[in-house]
Amino acid sequence: MVDKISLVKEKADFPRAKISSSKNGAEYARQFFEYDLTIYESFFMMMLNNSNNTVGYVKISQGGITGTLVDVRIVAKYAIDSLAVGVILVHNHPSGNLKPSKADIELTKKVNQALSYFDIKVLDHLILTEDSYYSFADDNLL
C-alpha cells in the first residue's frame, strides 16, 4: 500500500499541470502507468486545487488482469490529506475495452458521495487503454 502522497511539485518528472479537459487529464495520467498499462489494472487519483492545477497524485491500488480493489476510505484519506478541492479518478483496462463496467460506475458513485461530505468534487473518472481513453464526465456519468 502507498503510504505517502506524491506531491507533483516535488517530482521533476511529474510537473504541475492545469487539467482543463478529459483529453489533457488522460495525457497527464498516462505517466503513472509506465509499462503496466496493458498488463494489470491499476487505480490512481489526481488531486487538484481550485484552479484545476494538479497538487498531487497517488496510486490507490494495483490488481490483476481484470480488476483491482479500491477502498473508498483510502481514496478519501488522500483527497483530504492533500487538501484537494477536486479529484480525477483514473484506472486502466488492460483488455482494451473502454466501456465502464457496472463495478466502475458503482465505485464512481460511491467515491463521489463520500467525497461530497468534505466538499471535494469528483471532476472525472478516466479509463485508459493503450491507445485511447473514456471519460465519465464527457458521458455525463458523474
For residue 54, the SS3 value is strand
134 φ, ψ (degrees, to nearest 5): -125, 140
First-last CA distance in the chain: 27
Give me the pLDDT at residue 2, please. 46
Those residues with Cβ within 8 angstroms of residue 18's Cβ, 6 or more apart along the chain or in another chain: 51, 52, 53, 54
For the segment 120-137, the average pLDDT, to the nearest whole number, is: 97
Residue 142 resides in a domain: no
Residue 141 resides in a domain: no
Q: How confident is the model at residue 9 (pLDDT cuts 50, 70, 90)?
A: very low
Residue 17 resides in a domain: yes
Residue 45 resides in a domain: yes
Q: Give the C-alpha distances (Å, rounded to integers) separating 136 from 105, 125, 126.
A: 9, 5, 6
Q: How many CB atoms lie within 10 A of CB 85?
A: 17
Crossing angle for the helix pair 72-81 and 102-116, to the nearest 10 degrees: 40
Q: How confident is the model at residue 13 (pLDDT cuts 50, 70, 90)?
A: low
* Residues 71/114, Cβ–Cβ less than 8 Å: no
37-63 confidence digits (pLDDT tens): 999 999 999 999 999 999 999 999 999
Share of the chain above pLDDT 70, in %: 90
Give me the pLDDT at residue 16, please. 80
Residue 3 resides in a domain: no
pTM confidence score: 0.89
Q: What is the CATH number of the domain that holds 60?
A: 3.40.140.10
Q: How confident is the model at residue 1 (pLDDT cuts 50, 70, 90)?
A: very low
Per the structure, the complete domain to which residue 83 belongs is given by: 8-135
69-86 confidence digits (pLDDT tens): 999 999 999 999 999 999
Give me the pLDDT at residue 134, please. 98
Determine the Cα–Cα distance for residues 84 and 86; give it in Å rounded to an integer. Answer: 5
Residue 2 resides in a domain: no
Q: Which has the closest alpha carbon to 8: 74, 53, 61?
A: 53
Is the model more confident about 29 or about 35? 29
Query: Largest Cα–Cα distance in the chain?
Result: 37
Count of structural domains, the chain: 1
